[in-house]
Amino acid sequence: MHRPDNISVYDELDLKLGIKSSLPHVKSTIALAILLWECADRPSELIYSVQNNDGIVMTDDLDQWVIDYLADICTEDQIDNEMLISAINENQLFKSQMEALIVAFELVWKLAKVSFVDENKAASAERTGGTRYPKKLIYTINADIIHCLIESNRDAYVRVLLAWIGFNINSDPECEEQLCQMLSVLSEGAVFKLTDGERDVIFNQNSLYRKLLETHDSVDINGDKEAKGSLRILKSLLSDGLNPFLKYSNGVVSTNEQKAAELEAYQERVDTFLRLSATKVIGLEDVDAANEGIAPQEYEANRLTTGCNALLYGVPGSGKSYTIEHEYCKPGSQVERLVFHPDYTYSDFIGQILPAVDDNGQVSYKFTAGPFTNILKESYKNPATEYILIIEEINRGNAPAIFGEVFQLLDRKVEYREVDDDGFPIGTSEYGITNANIAKIVYGDEKHKVRIPSNLSIIGTMNTSDQNVFTLDTAFQRRWDMRLIENNFENVDPSLADATILDTSVTWKDFCTEINKIVVGNGARMTSAEDKRLGAYFVHLRDLKFDERMGDLADGEYDSLRKKENHKQLTDNEKARLAEVRDAMKQNRKFPEKVIKYLWDDAFKFNREIIFETTEYQSLEQVIRAFMYAEKLDRFKMFKENVRSAFTNPED
């Protein structure tokens, strides 16, 4: 008894195939490839052309098969044999260069593999206006699917194919619509790419359906740079009406009104098909390819190109983490977050060799991956998903030492080369490094060069006011897109900006803005004054809430209850009241303990007399007590009169 062999592993198709090749009249070209296959009695491989000076024409055998197969229709519609063969030989199947045909037949419809009869020739052997060489088509099962439709009404569908090729012949509109629908279905797996500003957008026709249904508006597929590769074929097929759900004009796609009612249901079916087509065999990535005959496939052609290195810096509370969440982390992104600190090491970040005990008690040592290696593996295995590694407080650890040789990977590829391009998408590490431990985890191959894939971004944050932390050298910083997060209230939620501080009438925005003016104006007497400012998000909204259950501490109730507590004289009601006051005090202490303490202990540590009444308040304890034992605007009496007036009457 025999059993099947392991599944075969096939080479990936490359999105850069035919990167500058166009294929006009694509409908005519596809129609002829289908018709020739039918005329030749549906072989797996068809050598369809021979050399004729600098061009190619149909082989003699295929000439005769075409004439015989179409004899009845040609007689009926008065198409003589010479006219028939001459028109076919003028088709783009014979006139176009190899790379354009590859894109259409292999990347879009997956109808056939196209190659030269002389297999030693490279796909790039033909150029625009140059010599054309004999070619062959190696058909896929998609041709069988189309054949099933043709067999249902052969004469009608052959007439449609002839009409598409360019013959003036009557054809059935219903059959034409059905054939068009089938070709549209076969092209749904095709992937296209356009340039949108500084990023590449990888999309398919399903992306267009979703956007049209979501916005009820047209979609621009022109991009900001010249269309290349499969995008040119997409424009050609849309121009030829090969997608019945879409209308197209000058790079703009809209919904075909006649099919609008059907589009939503069709889009859902396409989405389900694509999901099932992308089903992953769990465990496949762990199989030893050398021993088992299976290797995980790489999907560089379909990989997102969103990857970047960005370092957000600014004063504490300026909104760095908020910016990451709202501008970098999109729905569907896979996000990992970690924090650097002085004891954080390369081993913590990348991984380390640790002992492992098996079931028999035997001790062995193996590499245990760290968070960087783990997310590198996940992003490599899932090219259509965006991954983001967030490193908070990146300068609180020795970042260059923590990254180690991975430091080299931060150089990202920014453009395709016209000559000797490495084949990796924009956003991939420009250079690979050798690291057997990482390579084995990520690729299953210790010799594989390690690169950060183009769908993985690394986002760091850094507080510019931090003291006693590691500095980031120029060589490290230049590998990041540096972004200063401005400290202002322009985009801060009004519920926070306009919230009053406890029971005072002073808003957080007014207090923060006026104090920061004093901080910056005091630059001559303060080191790095700009970095000492209060961030717009220095406090949370909950820190500003006032718990009125505290009452007025100055009336002596709280101190009286504490004395009774010390002498164990509290009644049950008094115990409940004391607990209530203390809970309220915990809430009301949040603002002074966070903000006023920062101003006293840090921002104005060496010149407190600038904003504080230091003749009356000589310690932080006195300052906090003064705030807590006052009410309303009197809570700010520890500040100098001019400072207090600045945020209590900012309009003056």
Structural domain count of the chain:
4
**336 and 479 part of one domain:** yes
Segment 411-425 shows an average pLDDT of 80
Mean pLDDT of the 517-544 span: 76
Give the model's pLDDT for residue 298.
47
- Quote the DSSP letter at residue 454: T
Check residue 527 and give its pLDDT.
Answer: 52
Query: 10 Å Cβ neighbour count for 404?
Result: 15
Check residue 296 and give its pLDDT. 39
User: What is the token pair recorded at 416?
Assistant: 């395709």
- State residue 470's pLDDT score: 65
* pLDDT for res 364: 76
- The beta strand positions in 412-473, using DSSP E, are 456-463
pLDDT of residue 73: 93
In a domain, 287, yes or no: no
Q: Is the pTM of this model over 0.85?
A: no
For the chain, the straight-line distance linking the first and the last C-alpha, in angstroms and rounded, comes to 96
- Please indicate whether residue 359 or residue 290 has the higher confidence score (pLDDT): 359
**What was the pLDDT predicted at 417?**
77
Return the pLDDT at 3.
61
Q: What is the pLDDT of residue 413?
A: 87
**Distant-in-sequence, close-in-space partners of 257: CB < 8 Å, separation ≥ 6:** none
Task: Could you list the beta-strand ranges (E) of 370-521.
Answer: 387-392, 456-463, 481-484
The partner residues of 392 in beta bridges, in order of sequence, read 339
Alpha helix (H) residue ranges in 2-123 = 26-39, 60-69, 71-76, 81-89, 92-95, 98-102
Q: Is the pLDDT of residue 420 over 80?
A: no
The pLDDT, as a whole number, for residue 9 is 54
Name the residue range of residue 435's domain: 305-484
Count of beta carbons in the 10 Å neighbourhood of residue 437: 18
Count CB-CB contacts under 10 A for residue 356: 11
Q: Whose structure tokens read 């040119």?
A: 232
Q: Is there a single domain that holds both residue 376 and residue 472?
A: yes
Q: What is the pLDDT of residue 285?
A: 42
Q: Which two tokens stand for residue 586?
A: 């915990």
62, 145: one domain: yes
Degrees, nearest 5: CA angle 356-359-362: 55
pLDDT for residue 8: 57
Residue 406 identity: V
Q: Is the pLDDT at 390 greater than 90, yes or no?
A: yes
What per-residue confidence (pLDDT) applies to 181?
93
Helix (H) or strand (E) holding 281: none
Query: pLDDT tier at 522 (50, 70, 90 boundaries)?
Result: low
Q: What pLDDT does 116 receive?
A: 93
Q: Which residues pair with 354 in a beta bridge?
A: 366
| Structural domain contains residue 300 | no
Count the neighbouring beta carbons within 10 Å of the beta carbon of residue 360: 5
Residues 441 and 418 in one domain: yes
Last residue of a domain, one of 279, 294, 315: 279
Same domain membership, residue 177 and residue 209: no
Return left, alpha or beta for 544; rule: phi > 0 is left, psi -120 to 50 is alpha, else beta.
alpha
Query: How far lies 518's CA from each of 1, 535, 603, 606, in Å?
Result: 88, 14, 11, 15
616 lies in some domain: yes
> Taking 80 as the threshold, does the pLDDT of residue 597 lie above it?
yes
Say if residue 66 is in the same domain as residue 88.
yes
**468-483 residue pLDDT tens:** 456 677 888 888 888 8
Domain membership of residue 33 (yes or no) is yes
User: Is residue 294 in some structural domain?
Assistant: no
Show which of 214, 244, 279 is a domain's final residue: 279
Contact call for residues 536 and 488 (beta carbons, < 8 A)? yes
Confidence grade of residue 278 (pLDDT, cut at 50, 70, 90): low
What's residue 315's pLDDT?
Answer: 81
Indicate whether 167 belongs to any domain. Answer: yes
Instruction: Answer for the pair 406, 474: CB distance below 8 angstroms, yes or no.
Output: no
What is the amino acid identity at position 337? R
Closest CA to 306 of 460, 481, 457: 457
3-state secondary structure of 47: strand
CA 338/CA 372 separation, integer angstroms:
10
Q: Is the pLDDT of residue 226 over 60?
A: yes
- Are the C-beta atoms of residues 172 and 160 closer than 8 Å to each other? yes
Rounded CA separation 544/500 (Å): 7
Domain identity same for 431 and 404 = yes
506 in the same domain as 479: no
Among the candidates 462, 484, 506, a domain finishes at 484
- Same domain? For 372 and 437 the reply is yes
Give bridge partners of residue 357 from the DSSP assignment.
363
Residue 289 lies in a domain: no
Place of tokens 């004999």: 134
The answer to whether residues 178 and 202 belong to one domain is no
Beta pairing class for 55-58 and 363-369? unpaired
Q: Of the candidates 473, 635, 489, 462, which has an alpha carbon nearest to the alpha carbon of residue 553?
A: 635
42 and 180 both lie in a single domain? yes
Contact assessment for residue 225 and residue 195, using Cβ atoms and an 8 Å cutoff: yes
Residue 325, C-beta contacts closer than 8 angstroms, at least 6 positions apart: none
Q: Kindly report the CA angle at 34 between 32 and 39, in degrees rounded to 5?
A: 90
Average pLDDT over residues 313-329: 84
- Does position 288 have pLDDT exceeding 60, yes or no? no
Beta-bridge mates of residue 459: 310, 390
**Whether pLDDT at 591 is above 60:** yes
Mean pLDDT, the chain, as a whole number? 85
In this structure, the answer to whether residues 145 and 262 fall within a common structural domain is no
Which CATH number is 381's domain given? 3.40.50.300
Identify whether 4 is part of a domain.
no
pLDDT at 37 over 90: yes
Tokens of 9: 């592993």
Q: How far apart are CA 396 and CA 335, in angstroms?
A: 21
